[in-house]
A = this chain, B = another copy of it.
Amino acid sequence: MPTIISISDPEDPRIEAYRSVRERDLVGRQGHFIAEGEVVLRVLLASRHQPVSLLLADKRLDGLRALLQVLDDGVPVYTAPQPIIDGIAGFPLHRGILALGRRAPPVDPAQLLAACPPRALVVVLSAIANHDNMGGLFRNAAAFGADAVLLDAQCCDPLYRKAIRVSVGGCLKVPFARIEAGTDIPALLASQGFTAIALSPSAETPLSRAPRPERTALLFGAEGPGLPADLLARTQTVGIPMTGGFDSLNVATTSGIALYHFTRD
């Protein structure tokens, strides 16, 4: 059973990590992250990451008691009236649930790929700098059961607060690893038996005609620039045909369509 600690002073130093969460996002959290809301909290508690503490609005405590049983004794659960919570967070926190988490230790990309099941499906992201898109990509990866996500050096952090929120916890659920700058990504994937398939608006082969390889790596680049040319030249490319020269799809939507295609019966 966790320790419940009632907070009455918004300046209480024990809840320092939750103060002005939006501004804090901008400076980074040195190995920690913030999760919001009940759904994301449930994902966190079932994930490889560790809860450090919780901050709950008083009104939420009763509904969460069963869930809180899984917390270690050393994880404090701070509670406060809703107005105090809003004052600490710096904005109206309607859901009344915040958690501070500690990242699991980083994983080597080759080891993560090697640990995937024989018929694995992984997502590889290049230069995704927008946290909404990162969250959407992880939400889809989780929804379609992707085994892992690999991020190149130009990708933003999936454990940024907004990315976690948009992913509905997908960023905490799907294992991910960062690929060092300069790594030969097609060679890395091939070394673990993965066939790389890059989504590209300019591809001649439509997605609907692409069979699923036994071990599949789906590559997505940022909207606009797309994937680097040297990467496209060394992978199988597929596209989603569109109407009348309209701008390409959002990258998270593209990932949803590609994951749907490769996982449907």
Interface set of A (CB-CB < 8 Å, partner B): 39, 132, 136, 139-140, 142-145, 168-170, 173, 206-209, 240-244, 246-250, 252-254, 256-257, 260-261, 263-265
Additional A-B contacts beyond A168-B247, A253-B256 (8; CB < 8 A): A139-B247, A139-B249, A140-B253, A207-B264, A241-B263, A254-B256, A256-B256, A256-B257
Q: Mostly helix, strand, loop or mixed at chain A's interface? A: helix
Q: Which residues of B contact A207 (CB under 8 A)?
A: 260, 264
Contact A143 B260 (CB under 8 A): no
**Contact status B265-A206, CB under 8 Å:** yes
Instruction: Pick the residue among B39, B173, B242, B250 that contacts A144 (CB under 8 A).
Output: B242
Task: Kindly state the separation between the CA atoms of A256 and B252 in the bound complex, as whole angstroms.
Answer: 10
Instruction: Enumerate chain B residues within 8 angstroms of A240, measured Cβ to Cβ.
Output: 260
User: What residues of B have a CB within 8 angstroms of the CB of A170 in the complex?
Assistant: 246
Q: Are A136 and B265 in contact, CB atoms less than 8 angstroms apart?
A: no
- Interface pair A246/B206, CB less than 8 Å apart: no
Query: Once bound together, how far apart are the Cα atoms of A250 and B260, in whole Å?
Result: 13
Please name the residue on chain B nearest to A257 by beta carbon: B260
What is the CA–CA distance of A249 and B144 in the complex, to the nearest angstrom?
A: 10
Q: Is the CB of A253 within 8 A of B206?
A: no
CA gap between A88 and B170 in the complex, in Å: 40
From B139, B145, B168, B243, give the contact of A143 (CB < 8 A).
B243
Name A208's closest neighbour in chain B (CB-CB).
B264
In the bound complex, how far is the Cα of B257 from the Cα of A143, in angstroms? 13
B139 adjacent to A250 (CB under 8 Å): yes
Which residues of B have CB within 8 Å of A257? Answer: 256-257, 260
Whether B265 pairs with A143 at a CB distance below 8 angstroms is no
In the complex with contacts A136-B253, A240-B260, A260-B257, A143-B246 CB distance below 8 A: yes
A169: chain B residues at CB < 8 Å are 247
Give chain B nearest CB distance to A79 CB in angstroms.
26
Q: Which residues of B contact A250 (CB under 8 A)?
A: 136, 139, 252, 256
